[in-house]
Amino acid sequence: MSKPARAGDAARGSVPFEDALKKLEGIVDAMEADDLPLETLLARYEEGARLVKICQEKLAEAEVKIQQLEKNAAGELKLKPFESSEE
Amino acid sequence: MSKPAKSQWNFGELFSPAEMRKVLSVSELTGTVRTLLEKQVGAVWVNGEITNLRTQSSGHIYFTLKDANAQLSCVLFNREKVTQRELLADGQKVLLQGDVTVYEARGQYQLIVRAVELQGIGALQIAFEKLKQQLAAEGLFAPERKRALPKFPARIGLVTSPTGAAIRDVLHVVQRRNPALEIILAPCRVQGDGAAEEIAVAVALLNRYHLTTAQTQRSNDSTKLDLILVTRGGGSLEDLWAFNEEIVARAIFESAIPVVSAVGHEIDFTIADFVADVRAATPSAAAEIITEGVFASREFVGGALDLMRLRVRRRMANEKENFASLAGRWSRLHPRRRLNDSLQRLDDLQSGLLRNLKTAVRARHVVLQNLAGRFLRAKPSVALKTRREYLRQLEKRLNSLGPEQVLARGYSITTDAASGNVLRAAAAVKAGQKLKTRLAKGEIFSRVAE
């Protein structure tokens, strides 16, 4: 779905929200179990903090990104910015 | 023919000789009218409301088609292939196709009905049921083919009017819950003639766009769509009708991308809703469903840092506690500690011992004192005197029992000098036997004379 061909994201070096979230959930779960060695616990915490930052960046997006699909004369599909009738 | 303005009684030109001669029979006139009507009017489409419908035993149906100001006699012959013939009833609005003619026998012009289209809500509902059954039979609504929506869509396609209420509602909800969501709008009309075709084209266009990445890896931007939302706001059955058309149903069915359908209000169910993978009650509800994954994760992400910190703190506290108790045990095991313990124990024992000794000595002391007391009370002089006394008494008694007193009276005891045996009988002695006689004072030794 959103995972396979995210060429753009890979190029920008960022992780899709879903992946970051899954990893974060995994880390929190692992930390809940008490049997991690202390060093691993701390390493996981750091990784988790990093993932939280990534997720929050995505959640902090302010504006919805909406574009309009059009077929030009040549039959090609192009995107153009959507002009809302209000605002 | 022109009528000259003359005296009303002058019929001169009106009834010219030639014309006055042509007298038509009723049939002829009627036939002329019939021909006139068939040629000039002929095949028509007319709409109105059925009244006065009656079916003859022959199967032919007669009714009057009326509107506010006029009415038209109609007949639907048995032989005409009209489906839904049984649905014709008084009050039903219909669109008829037929030929205008005259029923000469009655001198009545009428419409011979060739085709019927039901109109109004009733007609729409019937068409809806019909298509619904047909598509259901084909399996377009099958629950097994419905695809699950991705939980975290990043980019979606939107099929709706760019100016309607639906798009506004959708954008508001998305803004609130997941503004990072990218939306690709394929605009279309959502009601009226041709709207159904536009909707179908929009869905197909988005599918085409979705597939372009697979083929052309030109740009760095992905064109993958996670789902398509087909939506419009509330309206009457006629307004929503485009979403009940077959062409829309097939376009949704053939979409490679999962489709969410949100048409009208909660109570409106269109064929698009049945074919879609997910149906939402309203455009806002659809937007909420779509953004639920990300929105629900907000809280988790917001709290995750605190959760992890808490975990680490707790773990550190645990470790510290463990270490402290371990250190405690360690210090208790230290040899010096054991020595101290032993010394203390020794002290205890010593005190105990001393205490016991003291107690024992005191006890013996008491015994000794008791004995001393008793001893002192038991003085020997006293005892001696007592014994002497006793002895004296014994002596007296003895004396009273002894021979001294008897001897003192003059008696004597004579014994055999040799054996010491006491003599009681004179016959016991022999001549010459030596005898001893004890007197009160002294003894006499003698020999038996005879």
With a pLDDT cut of 90, the percent of chain B lying above it is 49
CATH 3.40.50 fits A7-81, yes or no: no
Give the tens place of pLDDT for each residue, B162-191: 998 999 999 999 999 998 899 999 999 999
Reference B284, options B241, B231, B236, B237; nearest CA is B231
Q: Which residues of A touch B214 (CB under 8 A)?
A: 5
pLDDT at B165: 92
pLDDT(B225) > 80: yes
Torsion of CA B87, B93, B95, B97, to 10 degrees: 60
Of all residues in chain B, the one with the smallest CA distance to A43 is B312
Average pLDDT for B6-24: 65
Q: Among A13-27, B55-69, B313-327, name the one with the lowest average pLDDT.
A: A13-27
Say whether B224 and A2 touch across the interface (CB within 8 A).
yes
Tokens in use for B112? 């011979």
Contact B207, B257 (CB under 8 A): yes
Q: Assign residue B164 a region (left: φ > 0; alpha: ψ between -120 and 50; beta: otherwise).
A: beta
Say whether A42 and B162 touch across the interface (CB within 8 A).
no
pLDDT(B48) > 70: yes
What is the domain partition of chain B in residue ranges? 21-118, 126-297, 404-447
Average pLDDT for B152-160: 94
Tokens in use for A42? 């701390």
Q: How far is A15 from chain B (nearest CA, A)?
A: 12
pLDDT at B247: 95
Alpha helices in chain A, H assignment, sequence order: 7-12, 17-32, 38-59
Average pLDDT for B305-324: 88
Q: How far is B173 from chain A (nearest CA, A)?
A: 10
pLDDT at B395: 87
pLDDT(A8) > 60: no
Q: Which residues of B touch A77 (CB under 8 A)?
A: 205, 208-209, 212
What is the domain partition of chain A in residue ranges? 7-81
Contact B231, B209 (CB under 8 A): no
Q: How many contacts (CB atoms, under 8 Å) link A and B?
A: 143
Say whether B186 and A11 touch across the interface (CB within 8 A).
no
The CA distance from B188 to B194, in Å, is 10
Give the tens place of pLDDT for each residue, B301-310: 888 888 888 8
- In this complex, the residue of A7, A52, A62 whose CB is nearest that of residue B301 is A52
Q: Which residues of A touch B178 (CB under 8 A)?
A: 59
With a pLDDT cut of 70, the percent of chain B lying above it is 93
Q: Which residues of A touch B302 (CB under 8 A)?
A: 56
Q: Which residues of A touch B180 (CB under 8 A)?
A: 17, 58-59, 61, 65
pLDDT at B384: 79
CATH superfamily, with its number, for domain B126-297: Succinyl-CoA synthetase domains (3.40.50.261)
pLDDT(B14) > 80: no
Average pLDDT for B376-394: 81
- In this structure, which CATH number among 3.30.360.10, 2.40.50.140, 1.50.10.20, 2.60.40.420 belongs to the domain B21-118? 2.40.50.140
Matching fold, domains B21-118 and B126-297? no
Measure Cα distances from B74 to B56, B79, B93, B107, B443 in Å.
13, 15, 14, 14, 205
